[in-house]
Amino acid sequence: MANITKKVSWSSRGDESGAAGEETPLLNGSEQSRPLRQMSSGSTVFQIGRLSTVDLEEEITTEEDSARGRPKEIPHNEKLLSLKFESLDYDNIENQLFLEEERRMSFMAFRCLEISRWVICGLIGFLTGLIACFIDIAVEQLAGLKYKLIKENIVKFTEAGGLSISLLLWAALNSFCVMFGAIIVAFFEPIAAGSGIPQIKCFLNGVKIPRVVRLKTLVVKVVGVIFSVVGGLAVGKEGPMIHSGAVLAAGVSQGRSTSLKRDFKIFEYFRRDTEKRDFVSAGAAAGVSAAFGAPVGGVLFSLEEGASFWNQMLTWRIFFASMISTFTLNFFLSIYHNKPGDLSNPGLINFGRFESEAMEYNLYEIPLFIAMGAIGGGLGAFFNFLNYWLTIFRIRYVHRPCLQVMEAMLVAAVTATVAFVMIYFSTDCQPLGPDHTEEYPLQLFCADGEYNSMATTFFNTPERSVRSLFHNPTGTYNALTLGLFTLTYFFLACWTYGLAVSAGVFIPSLLIGAAWGRLCGILLASTTSTASLWTDPGKYALIGAAAQLGGIVRMTLSLTVIMVEATGNVTYGLPIMLVLMTAKIVGDYFQEGLYDLHIKLGSVPFLHWEAPATSHWLTAREVMSSPVTCLNRIEKVGTIVDTLSNTSTNHNGFPVVVQVSGDDEPAKLCGLILRSQLIVLLKHKVFVELARSRLTQRKLQLKDFRDAYPRFPPIQSIHVSQDERECMMDLTEFMNPTPYTVPQDTSLPRVFKLFRALGLRHLVVVDDDNRVVGLVTRKDLARYHVGKHGLEELHLAQT
């Protein structure tokens, strides 16, 4: 076989000038690094840090290998993978402690645990609904005050002159609100910026994003999104609800708050990554349900992001959390609107009721809907392209918190100015009937009894603008108004997404699509003599909204159900599905989805569902990391401390080996142990000598590991004396004796499926004699994920 020599250089941030061979200072004054036991089948050098260069060279050692026609370079994803991201342990560690605890539990104890899971999901749904209700009421009240103040000012100065004062007032109010929302994000919790959906996608994928499910993040997210929407930015409050629900789920399910340092001594059994992931899925689904009034769509959203761990009972619990969430929001909003018991507000955004008679469509309209889907896919790809390069510019030049706040304030002022100028020069005046639905109609220079139609789109919250485009009668908007609004709002939304504010992209996408979709309906009616063929432009607004949203975020199954549930009419299920599929196909041809692009920009080792299509010629030998740092089943404490303290490796999983015969024979695999477990063992001084002398107070239990979860102390905080370094530690009881392993010749697609489907963190590669030759981690596989252009390079390299 070909001997693939991988030269991978890693360095930590700000440490690029250090010498390659410089020794790392050890803990407790150790003068010299002890040699680490390494099991290797090649000359691979793999040092954990930040991937800076990838140089792949192949040495053909036999004529057989050269005949195989392997490429001289293995194509890698050239994007750097940041080391601030670690993997989550979605595979239960079935060591002796775990198995003993499970065997001691009675059938009734397992039933109580199942009931506890249902109770937690109910609490998640209830609290998510309350948060959504608070956001909706706060936005409505604050935005109402702002628009009333600005409207009174505009009416006053329209007659007396001096509308520039109204413009300054509008821009100042927007900038002040956005400034507050940006300050708390940029200076206090930057992870709360954006919608949070990419971060939750990564969490469900198995990547630990720092601070993504903290209580502080939730507070900043909720307050920030309120002021972002009130500040008039081209944003929505629906996307952040998904993140908020996930944070609530992560906190409630653990029965304690590490931020507040309060432990309620409940739900201790669920303090591990596997259980937390299930509850975070329920929280994300509850957030979708609260945002759109779509409980089934919420379940499917979680299914699309984490189908590898799905089971029937978990599905029911997630659906239960979603239903509780939308019911809670419904109930409290009915009280707020003085209609107790009227459950007609299922989500933060209410598309209104689409009547079947007015929304009928014919067979000949389906090709038009598909064409609109293609337009949405193209526009979505262009939106993502612009936002991608704008985000790169921000990363390079707008990285200081003060600059981020200033940029957010600038965008808020520009948004207000553009809206004011377009309203000022608009001549689209519509009659103001007795049954008008406009919340803040502006007359401006229109005649008495008329209002400015352009003001309906800008001078309102985005959710109300979407609803007016869906349901306002024919003739409410002219083509020029919709065209100008689409053009300006498209670029404003593209500029806004990625600011240091809590904001979502769902509603801006729907608003852009609804505008150009309604424009398509008007143009169709004007180009035919029989206007009855295109009776209601509202249905084209709905199709355009779906096409634009699908073209930007590239969601299909869940988004179809969300749109159908939000409209309350299954009539358009087939057209919406066709439109979203077309938008995804067309958009994927040009550019990845918006969330995937931001995940890539974050250098996150995200694993997609499938391995590269032409990667069957790659085997575990080519993708694994080696040599591997292994530990003996009974290991010296000093060696363990040195291994954990070695900042040049910083590994999180260590194969445990044992000598089965003479000392000259290579050791064989007998288990796997994690860094977090070793730290807990060192903290509690679980040494063989202490156990024999009965100096330990009690036997270590799983509760000790759960109490330390999820913020395990760093190795630098563990004090180990020089005498204790000479002690031995028996890992038999704590290691996972049955880790997943694969032979060296296992194909990359098979390795990928095992890793992705089982939610693994480490996959040990062994030879025919069960000796460790390598270790596959998430980063090893993420480096081999290639996109459209990478697949072409991979195919050319193979042929």
Give yes or no for residue 38 having a pLDDT over 70: no
* pLDDT at position 59: 34
| Domain total of the chain | 2
Give yes or no for residue 747 having a pLDDT over 50: yes
Q: Is 587 found in the same domain as 537?
A: yes
Length, in residues, of the chain: 799
For position 391, which CATH number holds? 1.10.3080.10
Lowest mean pLDDT among 246-255, 515-524, 561-570: 561-570
Lowest mean pLDDT among 1-15, 514-528, 720-734, 784-798: 1-15
Q: Is 654 found in the same domain as 593?
A: no
Q: Is 630 found in the same domain as 588?
A: no
312 in any annotated domain: no
Mean pLDDT score of the chain, rounded to an integer? 81
Q: Is 696 found in the same domain as 553?
A: no
Structure tokens at 402: 């003060």
Q: DSSP letter at 465?
A: H
Q: Is 664 found in the same domain as 598?
A: no
Q: Is 675 found in the same domain as 564?
A: no
**Which of the listed residues 539, 571, 602 is the one where a domain comes to its end?**
602
Q: Is 677 found in the same domain as 583?
A: no
**What CA–CA distance (Å, rounded) separates 371 from 363?**
14
**What CA–CA distance (Å, rounded) separates 558 from 298?**
7
Q: Strand 45-46 and strand 429-431: pairing?
A: unpaired
**What CA–CA distance (Å, rounded) separates 215 from 211?**
9
Contacts of 250 (CB under 8 A, 6+ apart): 213, 276, 279, 280, 283
For position 625, which CATH number holds? 3.10.580.10
Instruction: Give the percent of the chain with pLDDT over 90.
Output: 45
* pLDDT at position 452: 79
- In one-letter notation, the amino acid at residue 796 is L
Choose among 453, 500, 458, 461: nearest CA to 478. Answer: 453
Q: Is 709 found in the same domain as 570?
A: no
> Could you list the residue range(s) of the whole structural domain that residue 596 is in?
360-399+426-602
Contacts of 423 (CB under 8 A, 6+ apart): 442, 444, 452, 454, 455, 458, 459
128 in any annotated domain: no
pLDDT tens string 388-417? 999 999 999 998 999 999 999 999 999 999
Give yes or no for residue 799 having a pLDDT over 70: no
**What CA–CA distance (Å, rounded) separates 702 from 707?**
9
Q: What is the pTM of this model?
A: 0.84
**Which of the listed residues 572, 602, 632 is the one where a domain comes to its end?**
602
Return the bridge partners of 205, or none: none
* pLDDT at position 89: 85
392-to-212, 523, 561, 602, 799 alpha-carbon distances in Å: 22, 38, 33, 10, 34
DSSP line for 661-684: S-TTSPPEEEEEEEHHHHHHHHHT
350 in any annotated domain: no
pLDDT tens string 260-310? 888 888 899 999 998 999 999 999 999 999 998 889 998 988 877 765 556
* pLDDT at position 303: 79
Choose among 25, 83, 88, 72: nearest CA to 676. Answer: 88
Q: Is 651 found in the same domain as 540?
A: no
Give yes or no for residue 345 having a pLDDT over 80: no
**What CA–CA distance (Å, rounded) separates 531 from 567?**
25
299 in any annotated domain: no
Helix/strand number for the chain, H first, E second? 29, 19
Lowest mean pLDDT among 158-162, 495-499, 548-552, 763-767: 158-162
Q: What angle do CA 653, 659, 664 make, to 5 degrees?
A: 120
> Quick one: average pLDDT of 719-726?
89
Q: Is 573 found in the same domain as 452?
A: yes
Return the bridge partners of 456, or none: none
534 in any annotated domain: yes
Q: Is 647 found in the same domain as 579?
A: no
Structure tokens at 342: 């009227």
Give yes or no for residue 602 having a pLDDT over 60: yes
* pLDDT at position 534: 60
Q: Is 569 found in the same domain as 452?
A: yes
* pLDDT at position 415: 93
**What CA–CA distance (Å, rounded) separates 304 from 318?**
13
313 in any annotated domain: no
71 in any annotated domain: no
pLDDT tens string 494-523? 999 999 999 999 999 999 999 999 999 888
pLDDT tens string 328-340? 999 999 899 888 8
pLDDT tens string 347-395? 777 777 776 565 677 888 899 999 999 999 999 999 999 999 999 999 9
* pLDDT at position 529: 62
**Which of the listed residues 542, 572, 602 is the one where a domain comes to its end?**
602
Is the CB of residue 100 less than 8 Å from the CB of residue 700?
Answer: no
* pLDDT at position 251: 92
* pLDDT at position 54: 33
DSSP line for 267-335: SGGG-SHHHHHHHHHHHHHHHHHHHHS-HHHHHHHHHHHHGGG--HHHHHHHHHHHHHHHHHHHHHHHH
**Structure confidence at residue 532 as a pLDDT band (50, 70, 90):** low
* pLDDT at position 773: 93
* pLDDT at position 449: 76
> Quick one: average pLDDT of 19-37?
36
> Quick one: average pLDDT of 656-666?
76
